[in-house]
Amino acid sequence: MRVAVAQGADGGGLLQAVAEDGAPAGPVERVPDLAAAIGEWERDQRPRWVWAATGELYPRLLAAGARVDRCADLRLTEGILLAADGRWGEPRSFPAAWARLEGRPVPDDSEGRWDGQPALFDHGLLGLPSDAEVLAGVVAVHADQQRRLAGWVGRATERGQGSGLGLLVAAEAAGALAAVEMAAAGLPWRPEVHDAVLTELLGPRPRAGTAPERLRDLAARIGDAFGQPLNPDSPAQVLRAFATAGTPLPSTRSHVLRGVDHPAVPLLLAYKELSRLHAAYGWAWLDAWVAGGRFRPEYLPGGVVSGRWATRGGGALQIPTALRRAVVADPGWTLVVADASQLEPRVLAALSGDDGLARAAAGGDLYAALAADAFGGDRARAKTALLAAMYGGDAGQLMSVLRRRFPAAVGYVEAAARTGEEGGLVRSRLGRTCPPPSPGWLALTERAGGADPDPEAAARARRAARDRGRFTRNFVVQASAADWALVLLAALRRRLAGSGSQLVFFQHDEVMVHCPRGDAERVTAAVGDAAEESRRLVFGNTSVRFPLAVAVVDCYADAK
């Protein structure tokens, strides 16, 4: 059963039952308290809720005590369907989808939050529709999306490809619910530990507008190493100093500096690392993002083209190793941290059906098994070769060995690369579609493909084609890994519902649960079961397994 939702301006709203194909299946019901009504429906019937955007309505429902099990998110679904049809650049918000459906001017996607019905329609193109009109729009857009989804799946089936796009749409919506719930629960964070780490690394907290003591000291020592004062934050000054010292450099990037023999280099590298820590996760970050012993990032499901998540501020997906000491479970609670081991190579084995690579993936360390099978026991060479296959790169003879021993795996990513080089689209296991090439890319490659192309233009075109080939080569693997991780998250969320244990963190191939200490064993089992369910749903009858390293710890820093 599905129920469409339109939020009113006074805490009330409208509800209407719809069929699986999106057609109206009941009368419109006006409710004075939307959260209470949804909570009652959820307890009695557990429908799939149909609404414009989970991230804008669900936080209010959750704050009022209305946790829901399932939803259809029109914005996320529209994005997936537009991409599947190669229409990446078109707006995907509910107002945009509604306008497209009715043949009206299509508003751009808003960069800001949708804090209620007026903000949904602040583009000046629609006026302000009533909540009844909004509900009718929600029902119409959902029905249109269901028709498009069925058509896409049907076409894929006719071609003998099969399609997991329906699973992807459902998992994306479940991930959106989990994202709101994780933000509400918050990641346990000890501000006093964070402050102690910063003090240990940077010195005492400085006055506003001044640099920490450790950075000032490093800046002075860098100047001494060059024999002249300079600002380490100024690449131009650093490059001039190296040139004066007889070592001209193309940039001040860390990998460039590491190849230089000069006493200032280790000081500059230390300065860069500590400066980034101070700027991104220093005391200002602590004041802005941690309250009540919790860090509450705002997750953006599907925020990256591959389906990986992003965040709106806070940098939750790049927590520095040093600051993991601040992530500490509450008294009587613990953290269950699960991390997929060598996920993307295993995904490639499952995608390609390469028996040899699947056998290598059967053990604990895929790279060691690969080395024993094809690279004379040299794990480093085996890893280099496989990463080059997935991400592109010049691995020379290593790739030749990999191609001979694992032809299906190498052939899979090379076919994706060729498609990209030709301007085509590639898809993840469940059907998430990569962006099409830009008009500039098309113009460049068309010009170079003429009868007598300009040599420089031809060279640029070849580079552009290779770059896009590297992108599509990696997309099929990384996006399929994101499919698996998203389905795992949805399956784990369902298993934890009502238990008191809380999902509090998710990034790429890692998930964290904050739970009462006595529930740790049950949560650990739930994580394993969710991973197995995801393997089966996403990859079907594959022999490849996706092992999870699970740690039960009181502090995140102890998980690895």
Backbone angles phi, psi at 309, to 5 degrees: -85, 160
Tens digit of pLDDT at every position of the chain (560 positions): 999 999 988 899 999 999 999 999 999 999 999 999 999 999 999 999 999 999 999 999 999 999 999 999 999 999 999 999 989 889 999 999 999 999 999 999 863 333 344 445 544 444 578 899 999 999 999 999 999 999 987 777 666 555 699 999 999 999 999 999 999 999 999 999 999 999 999 999 999 889 999 999 999 999 999 999 999 999 999 999 999 999 999 999 999 999 999 999 999 999 999 999 999 999 999 999 999 999 999 999 999 999 999 999 888 888 999 999 999 999 999 999 999 989 999 999 999 999 999 988 887 888 898 888 888 888 988 888 888 888 887 666 778 888 888 999 999 999 999 999 999 999 999 999 999 999 999 988 886 655 556 788 788 888 899 999 999 999 999 999 999 999 999 999 999 999 999 999 999 899 999 999 999 999 999 999 999 999 999 999 899 999 999 999 999 999 97
Closest CA to 483 of 518, 535, 446: 535
Q: Nearest Cα to 554, choosing from 174, 303, 188?
A: 188
Report the DSSP beta bridge partners of residue 72: 50
Overall domain count for the chain: 4
Clarify whether residues 62 and 51 are in a common domain.
yes
Residue 171 lies in a domain: no
Same domain flag for 76 and 156? yes
Domain assignment present for 465? yes
CATH number, domain at 353? 1.10.150
Residue 148 and residue 262 in one domain: no
- How is residue 423 written in tokens? 């301007």
Using CA atoms, how far residue 383 sits from 215, 363, 374, 388, 395, in Å, is: 37, 15, 11, 8, 11
Question: Does residue 270 form part of some domain?
Answer: yes
State residue 472's pLDDT score. 96
Are 158 and 196 part of one and the same domain? no
Domain of 523, CATH number, reads 3.30.70.370
361 and 432 both lie in a single domain: yes
Task: Give just the sign of the alpha carbon dihedral 523, 529, 533, 536.
Answer: positive
- ∠ CA 150-152-154, nearest 5°, is 65
Would you say residue 186 lies in a domain? no
**17 with 37, same domain?**
yes
Domain limit, last residue, from 453, 476, 499: 476
**pTM (predicted TM-score):** 0.92
Same domain, 159 and 27: yes
Q: Is residue 388 assigned to a domain?
A: yes
Choose one of 434, 460, 476: the last residue of a domain: 476
Domain end, chosen from 476, 511, 539, is at: 476
Residue 368 and residue 250 share a domain: no
Are both 213 and 132 inside the same structural domain? no
| Token pair 């039952």 in the structure block, residue | 17
* 303 in the same domain as 446: no
DSSP 434: P
Q: What is the DSSP string of 57-85?
A: HHHHHHHTT---SEEEEHHHHHHHHHHHT
Report yes or no on 542 lying in a domain.
Answer: yes
For residue 520, tell me if it sits in a domain.
yes
* Same domain, yes or no: 329 and 353: no
27 phi and psi angles, rounded to 5 deg: -75, 160
**Beta strands in 20-172, from DSSP E residues, in sequence order:** 24-31, 48-51, 70-73
3-state secondary structure of 540: coil
State how far the Cα of 318 lies from the Cα of 331, in Å rounded to an integer.
Answer: 26
- DSSP symbol at 104: P
* Shared domain check, 385 and 324: no
**Distance of alpha carbon 340 from alpha carbon 345, whole angstroms:** 11
Q: Which residues contact 390 (CB under 8 A, 6 or more apart)?
A: 344, 345, 348, 413, 473, 474, 477
Residue 183 domain flag: no
Range of the domain at 227: 191-291
Of 192, 180, 193, 178, the C-alpha closest to 296 is: 180
